[in-house]
Amino acid sequence: MTEHVLDDLEWRGLIAHSTDLDALRTEMSQGPIRFYVGFDPTAPSLHMGNLMQVVTARRLQEAGHVPFVLVGGATGMIGDPKESGERTLNSVDLVKEWVEKVHHQVEPFFSFDGANAATMVNNYDWTASLSTIDFLRDIGKHFSVNRMLGREVVRSRLEAGISYTEFSYVLLQSMDYLNLFRDFGVRLQTGGSDQWGNITGGVELIRRVTGARVHALATPLVTRSDGVKYGKTEAGALWLDREMMSPYAFHQFWMNAEDEGVVQLLKYFTFRDKSEIDELEKQTGDKPFLRAAQRALADDVTTLVHGAEETRRAKEAAAAIFGAGQLRELDADILEAALREAPHVGVGRAALPTYVDLLVLTGLADSKGAARRTVAGGGAYVNNERIEDPEGVPSTRDVLPGGWLLLRKGKRDVAGVKVG
């Protein structure tokens, strides 16, 4: 068992908050510790924030510790309070469907064999039959309303209002830790820093009920160099489900990481060691135009989530779309996925617009005059072939598999035209 997994987590910047780190280090040095990480099915897919927790938990398992992966069939019916306002309560059937999806999505990241095999649990199993009286007596009695009001997200919601349902969420999550401690001997909970109030609520509940002292770790919020929360694309959240975000778009997201933050993302999300990451940091400083760190990041994380084959397909698609590969050799499905992520328009096959009009329609040019200047300067392409005549019209023979035309301005600005 790796003795110093906490040193690795600290070097990677993955410990934003902790209880007694020295006590946890001592306990880990004495043998494997059982820990848990939870995911609420408040959407049909995990996202970038969840991936941070998955990868952190996997590091602990690879160091010899024993993971319990909780999918919140009960807590998912409520949802942790958000600063933006009350959540919409989803139906029981929908939450059950999402529980299954999240369960299958998280399962491949862990090993379920060997001495430190992972265990999947669902908090609906110990919550569904609990009576209101028992819940209030056995759990609610140990929580001070004053402390609950002190949670930052609750304070931010007080003026606009917060329901008792969301206000009491911390009791449910704390009860999870208590049950896992009692039934399985779980002694560490990990999660995101935005969950720290809920996590420490569980630590305190165990102390009050049993007298035992257990542990907690929280990872930091992932932000860009300017402090803005990371993990959003133009289309929304960075989903792990390929139906909600294609592997191509997923790979491109990581490829577009800013130079200032790419090394930290490598530490957070990849399993590369210090020497490898230090070398990539040096390459980024010396030759940032090669984007070596971004390529390593995108390849590693896409392979982790979607597999090596999807990573290969995403890279081939990117090469073809940006002029370094053969567009017609791409599978129609990956070309479709890639161009739907780019700005795109639909046109009729019977009367295709001129190139000038297409450049304006797709937003690659602000006006027809600008479009003509781009063509005259040699910077406009259709299917990676330079456009020579701004008033020319693409032929039906130019249409790629799946019914697409690819327009490009310069090296990086692309758009799709769906020919119907």
Query: What's the rounded Cα separation, in Å, for the pair 175 and 137?
Result: 13
For residue 47, list its beta bridge partners: 239
**What is the CATH architecture assignment of 5-219?**
3-Layer(aba) Sandwich (3.40)
**Cα 292 from chain centroid?**
22
Would you say residue 172 has pLDDT above 90?
A: yes
CA distances from 72 to 32, 57, 80, 166, 347 (A): 25, 17, 11, 15, 45
Q: Which residues make up the CATH 3.40.50.620 domain(s) of the chain?
A: 5-219
Q: Which residues make up the CATH 3.10.290.10 domain(s) of the chain?
A: 342-420
- Please list the alpha-helical segments (H only) found in 168-195: 169-184
**What's the rounded mean pLDDT across residues 222-230?**
76
pLDDT digits over 105-131, tens only?
Answer: 999 999 999 999 999 999 999 999 999
Token pair listed for 188: 């560490």
The conformation of residue 142, written as its DSSP 8-state character, comes to G
**What's the rounded mean pLDDT across residues 34-55?**
95
| Contact by Cβ (8 Å): 89, 78 | yes
3-state secondary structure of 391: coil
What is the reported pLDDT for 152? 77
Would you say residue 40 has pLDDT above 70?
A: yes
Specify the amino acid at residue 239: W
**Mean pLDDT of the residues in the chain:** 92
Token pair listed for 39: 């995911």
User: Which CATH entry fits the domain spanning 222-337: 3.90.1150.10, 3.30.540.10, 3.30.420.40, 1.10.240.10?
Assistant: 1.10.240.10
- Domain 342-420: which CATH class? alpha beta
Would you say residue 46 has pLDDT above 80?
A: yes
Token pair listed for 402: 């799946």
What is the reported pLDDT for 300? 98
**Cα 274 from chain centroid?**
23
Query: What's the rounded Cα separation, in Å, for the pair 198 and 215?
Result: 13
Specify the amino acid at residue 406: L
Q: What angle do CA 386, 251, 299 make, to 5 degrees?
A: 110
Helices vs. strands in the chain: H and E counts, helices first:
19, 13
What is the reported pLDDT for 162? 83
Q: Which residues make up the CATH 1.10.240.10 domain(s) of the chain?
A: 222-337
Name the pTM for this structure. 0.89
Q: What is the CA radius of gyration of the chain?
A: 25
Q: For residue 242, how many other CB atoms are within 10 A of its CB?
A: 17
Paired sense of beta strands 215-219 and 232-233, if any: unpaired
Query: What's the rounded Cα separation, in Å, for the pair 121 and 275?
Result: 37
